[in-house]
Amino acid sequence: MQITILGAESLGARSMATVVEAAGRTVLIDPGVALAPKRSGLPPHPREVEAAERVREAILWWLPRATDVVITHFHGDHMPLADADPYQVSLSAFALPEKCRVWVPGEEGHPGRSRARRRALVQALHRPIPSAGGKDDGVVACSSPFPHGGGGGGVMIVAVREGDACFVHASDTQLLSSEAVATALRWRPSVVYTSGPPLYLPGVTWTEADLAHAHATRIAAATDTLVIDHHPLRGEGGLRWVEDAGGISAAEFMGVTPALLEARRRDLWGRPPAGIY
């Protein structure tokens, strides 16, 4: 099994795009990327724009090679969009190989914008896409949706398996659901890639942070490798939290130095230049 993380906050842009090559399959998970339009009252820095472009180019390079595409939920940093901004993946560029399998949640439990994005995806791909929740073909398995941390609909957890190796992509559950953690661990994963809580937001409570930390340490004790990225690494203290919880960042998993560009946006712009936008 070969796991390649294409995008993450520790790689410079909002994303959890991942490719898993296993059992003769090439599984592209969450093919999306985004940048925060006004973090710290400033637009994305050119270094962030470059990082998002690298992620988008990597997604589109892998797309024609994919045997399976999985979208865990319908947020713009996890899927292609009909109304993509310049930093995101556009549906107009998202052409699937003819026999590529598509694993997507159903509409149930999702807000109106997410349902509209799902319908736009179906229309763009010119094929019916049944709900993948609860489906398992022996290599790829998808859970029924769990709550997105902080609201915003449901999120599928995805497992890709080959022999004794199992990769679990837990996306935006944010380590806040004990049921989601139990589901991930039932697959006996060797590697888990998950988001944690958005520690940079003032609305996140100590109770939520402690709960996520406890869930992370539980997963870390049961797996070979726990990768935590995405929401926690939008703040500079996120790397310490990830390490203390027993995890590593996506950048460290890929063997490169973490680059928390969104967290450092004010510094990148010179703290901050008043005349920009």
* Structural domain range at position 91: 2-269
Within-domain flag for 46: yes
Within-domain flag for 174: yes
CATH at 122 = 3.60.15
* pLDDT on residue 108: 84
pLDDT tens column, 90-123: 999 999 999 999 999 998 878 898 999 999 999 9
Within-domain flag for 277: no
pLDDT tens column, 253-275: 999 999 999 999 999 998 655 44
pLDDT tens column, 14-29: 999 999 999 999 999 9
Within-domain flag for 202: yes
Within-domain flag for 276: no
Within-domain flag for 105: yes
Domain count, the chain: 1
Within-domain flag for 254: yes
- DSSP per residue, the chain: -EEEE---GGGTSB---EEEEETTEEEEE----B--TTGGG-PPPHHHHHHHHHHHHHHHHHGGG-SEEE--S--TTTS-BTT--TTS-BGGG-PPPTT-EEEB--STT--HHHHHHHHHHHHHHTS---B-TT-B-SSEEEPPPEEPTTSSSEE--EEEEETTEEEEEEETTTT--HHHHHHHHHT--SEEEEE---TTSTT--HHHHHHHHHHHHHHHHHSSEEEEESGGGGSTTHHHHHHHTT-B-HHHHTTS----TTTTHHHHHTS--TT--
